Amino acid sequence: MDNVAIVVDDLEAAVAFFLELGLELEGEAVVEGVVADQMTGLDGVRSAIAMMRTPDGHGKLELTKFLAPVAVTAGPDAPPPNTLGLHRVMFAVDDIDDTVARLRRHGGELLGGIAQYENAYRLCDLRGPSGIIVALAERIG
């Protein structure tokens, strides 16, 4: 897999959120033209993208803000976690409490609470910029 792309309405806020989570900004660009139109099946595509890389260098997250045509909402502003389609992106963290506290400063909101799965993991889901759901997993024991 090369990357996972997420469409956002505030690119700067999304970049700040994922930087706080520990991802690194690999690069930014504006994408437009025939290739972008052909790939998406849309006409007149112009989008700003930020490519984020996981600290281990193995995963990438492409944050995309459509400048034209503008992004559309397919349902409620904050769809529930059981909505069909891409559900969430999960990240392994060393300290889930600290990570949640830092992400709250960037608009992160817990969907429920921090749960413990046996003596193996502490887990949670939180909603970030543009309604993105991020899951966190802290290995314990």
Q: How far apart are CA 32 and CA 38, in angstroms?
A: 10
Dihedral sign for Cα atoms in the order 26, 1, 11, 100: negative
Nearest by Cα to 108 from 82, 88, 84? 88
- Helix (H/G/I), strand (E/B), else coil: 97: helix
pTM of the model: 0.87
Per-residue confidence (pLDDT) for residue 18, from 0 to 100: 97
Per-residue confidence (pLDDT) for residue 82, from 0 to 100: 62
Distance of CA 93 to the CA centre of its chain: 15
- From residue 25, alpha-carbon distances to 6, 9, 20, 21, 50 in Å are 15, 18, 11, 12, 7
Report the run of H or E that residue 52 belongs to, with start and end: strand 46-53
Q: Which residues of the chain have pLDDT under 50?
A: none
Beta-bridged to residue 52, according to DSSP, are 25, 61
Beta-bridged to residue 31, according to DSSP, are 47
Q: Which domains does the chain have, with CATH numbers?
A: 4-68 (3.10.180.10), 89-139 (3.10.180.10)
The three-point CA angle 11-16-22 to 5° equals 130
